Chains A and B, each alone.
Chain A
Amino acid sequence: MRRDHQGGWRVGMTGLTAGLALVFLLTPVYGESPPPYDADGLRQTIRSLQDRIERLEAAQSLREVEQEHEELRPRFGLNLGVFGDLNASSTPRGQQRPAFGLGEIGLYSTARSGDRLTFLFEAAIELDEDPTEFEVERYWVGYTFSDRLVVRAGRVHTAIGYWNRTYHHARYFFPTIDRPFVLAYDWVLPTHLVGVEFAGTLRRGPTSLHYELEIGNGPEIDTTNQVLKVTDGVQDRERSKQAALRIVGGHAALPGLTVGLSGTTYAFDVPSLRESVIGMEVARLGTRLEWIAEGWRLANPSAVAWAGYLQGAWKLRDATMPFARVEWLETDAADPYLVALNAAVDRHQLIVGIRHDVEPLHSVLKAQYRRDSRADDHIRHIAELQWAFGF
């Protein structure tokens, strides 16, 4: 192709020839004769395909029979899991010198039959107790009627706020090394309940309202050890039962934010009193920042106490999360309920630390500083380490 003397373009003979040759070369080849018709080969192919279909049908029928048998097999233990933690600390209250500790081993299993019948079992071997204790922590069977109603019967965590319902005995999930002290097991607040639970979520447009209603054996006070005890058997020595209700609201426009109220009431024969607890909770679990605030008012005819905590955590990177928490318990020194539990003393605590995922979903390391201030003792400064894991 070249420009002529008038400024136009002219295609030369050579270019035309080359273009035609190119078109010829790039054009698919047509007109080839088809391969010869091979009837025997086709018959053989059909036969082998028929054989394959028969084999697949046989395998499918065998699988159906296996599925029938599967219904009869026990399901418990199919997903048996274990959580544990190993600890080291300087000298916290009640400990003479820095030490390593074995923490808890939590064993759990869940099972399901069909879509609606569920079962959960969780037991803890408390190696940090002397002597070592084995305790069934949660054990329930449940039936799901709909999103609005799930009924569970057995031993559950009492519906007294966000922490007690979200975190159980697996410290792997805790942002910090331990629970807030006011939620320590068997102490100020009744953390377990044996009875029946009704739970569900009601939705209206973007708004959701979750409820948990529980009725069960009331706790009793072990006056020797000054702890709350939940009656697991039918021999509930306390006459009155415990009731608990928790209601939590959320809105689709504010994902991760929940606001809730809870309350529980229970009575004791020894000492003779009725304790009522009212709680409030706000939790915001964002992509990076998460914080939780909970507060309780514990009241009986003689005294009122206030307790709570505020906790914040910031995900620095995918695996590292610094955290901080302040906790408090403000009491009346003459409160008969707290006196019976050796807790009628004001206490404040500050925790600052960091959590790091060693192996995502299986193992975390935590390190924290704890400033424990109790009105009847000097302030303790404690350094703690924990390796928590789950398999």
Chain B
Amino acid sequence: MGIRFLALLAGRRVDGRRARVAGWWAAAALCLLAALAGVGVASVVRAEDIAVIVNVGGPLTSLTLPDVRALYLGERQFVGPEMVVVLHLPEGDAKATFLSRVVGRTLKEYKLHWLQRVFQEGATLPKVVAGPEAMLGVVATRRNSVGYLPASLVHDMPEVKVLFVVPSP
């Protein structure tokens, strides 16, 4: 029955051996289509690219990736005379991707780094915002802030500049 139905889909006449062959061809084509669709779905649900954002009117518009890494590790606090406000998203895929691709640490390594930094020199922990919308809002209003969020969530906001986009692993 299934073979007959697939043969119908393939536009073949339903008779004997030819129908079976046509059915298998149709089945193969359907499998290929499903596989392609699966790849499409996989590409949609994989970890997203991450956009690093700053305030367009602030002093951070020319930061490079090593600069951002140094800021998020607390090795650097200033750009020019201004102290930089470093912002994090809550724990999740976007934060893990950012830490891995930009800072070069896992979440656990990053936490340990800051635990040690606070103990060594009384460093202040980076701030955590409520989510991507809050991240955009804070960066749009604070000229000395740097943040990140999934690239697909970056709106057209005149106050926010995308420094660079880090592709997902």
Chain A contacts to B: CB under 8 angstroms: 1, 3, 79, 81, 83, 108, 110-112, 115-116, 118-120, 122, 142, 144, 146-147, 166, 168, 170, 173, 201, 203, 206, 208, 252, 255, 287, 318, 360-361, 390
In the assembled complex, the CB of A144 is this many whole angstroms from the nearest CB of chain B, namely 7
B77 touches A147 (CB 8 A): yes
Q: How far is the CA of A203 from the CA of B63 in the complex (A)?
A: 14
Tally B residues with Cβ within 8 Å of A: 22
Of all chain A residues, which has the CB nearest B105?
A: A287
Bitwise, B31-68 to A at CB < 8 A (1) or not (0) is 00000000000000000000000000000000000100
Q: Which residues of B contact A122 (CB under 8 A)?
A: 119
A120 touches B76 (CB 8 A): no
In the assembled complex, the CB of A283 is this many whole angstroms from the nearest CB of chain B, namely 14
In the assembled complex, the CB of B81 is this many whole angstroms from the nearest CB of chain A, namely 7
A-B pairs under 8 A by CB, number? 53
Of all chain B residues, which has the CB nearest A318?
A: B108
Closest 4 CB pairs of A and B: A110-B122, A120-B122, A118-B122, A252-B66
Counting CB contacts under 8 A, is B120 at the interface? Answer: yes
Q: Main SS of the interface on chain B? A: mixed
Of all chain A residues, which has the CB nearest B69?
A: A255
B121 touches A147 (CB 8 A): no
Q: Known contacts A147-B76, A201-B76: does B119 contact A112 (CB below 8 Å)?
A: no
Of all chain B residues, which has the CB nearest A1?
A: B11
A-B contact pairs, 18 of them (CB 8 A): A81-B119, A83-B119, A108-B119, A110-B118, A110-B119, A110-B123, A112-B122, A115-B83, A120-B121, A144-B77, A146-B78, A147-B76, A147-B78, A173-B119, A252-B66, A360-B108, A360-B112, A390-B115
Bitwise, B108-130 to A at CB < 8 A (1) or not (0) is 10011001101111111000000
B108 touches A168 (CB 8 A): no
Q: How far is the CA of A166 from the CA of B83 in the complex (A)?
A: 24
Q: How far is the CA of A287 from the CA of B108 in the complex (A)?
A: 12
Q: How far is the CA of A193 from the CA of B124 in the complex (A)?
A: 24
Q: Which residues of A contact B116 (CB under 8 A)?
A: 166, 173
Of all chain B residues, which has the CB nearest A206?
A: B66
A255 touches B104 (CB 8 A): yes
A146 touches B81 (CB 8 A): yes
Q: Which residues of A contact B112 (CB under 8 A)?
A: 360-361
B120 touches A166 (CB 8 A): yes
B115 contact from A115, A203, A361, Cβ within 8 A = A361
A111 touches B122 (CB 8 A): yes
A201 touches B75 (CB 8 A): yes
Q: Which residues of A contact B119 (CB under 8 A)?
A: 81, 83, 108, 110, 122, 168, 170, 173
In the assembled complex, the CB of B31 is this many whole angstroms from the nearest CB of chain A, namely 24
Bitwise, B87-115 to A at CB < 8 A (1) or not (0) is 00000000000000000101010011001
Q: Which residues of A contact B122 (CB under 8 A)?
A: 110-112, 118-120, 142
Of all chain B residues, which has the CB nearest A79?
A: B118
Q: Which residues of B contact A83 (CB under 8 A)?
A: 119
Most interface-central of B115, B119, B120, B121 (chain A CB within 10 A) = B119
In the assembled complex, the CB of A203 is this many whole angstroms from the nearest CB of chain B, namely 8
A361 touches B108 (CB 8 A): yes
In the assembled complex, the CB of A163 is this many whole angstroms from the nearest CB of chain B, namely 12
Q: How far is the CA of A1 from the CA of B122 in the complex (A)?
A: 78
Q: Which residues of A contact B111 (CB under 8 A)?
A: 360-361
Of all chain A residues, which has the CB nearest B79?
A: A147
Of all chain A residues, which has the CB nearest B8?
A: A1
With A142-B122, A201-B75 given, name 17 new contacts (CB 8 A). A79-B118, A108-B119, A110-B122, A110-B123, A119-B122, A147-B76, A147-B77, A166-B116, A168-B119, A203-B76, A206-B66, A208-B75, A287-B104, A318-B106, A318-B108, A361-B108, A361-B111
Q: How far is the CA of A120 from the CA of B119 in the complex (A)?
A: 8
Of all chain B residues, which has the CB nearest A142?
A: B122
B120 touches A168 (CB 8 A): yes
In the assembled complex, the CB of B63 is this many whole angstroms from the nearest CB of chain A, namely 13
Q: How far is the CA of A122 from the CA of B76 in the complex (A)?
A: 24
Q: How far is the CA of A115 from the CA of B119 in the complex (A)?
A: 17
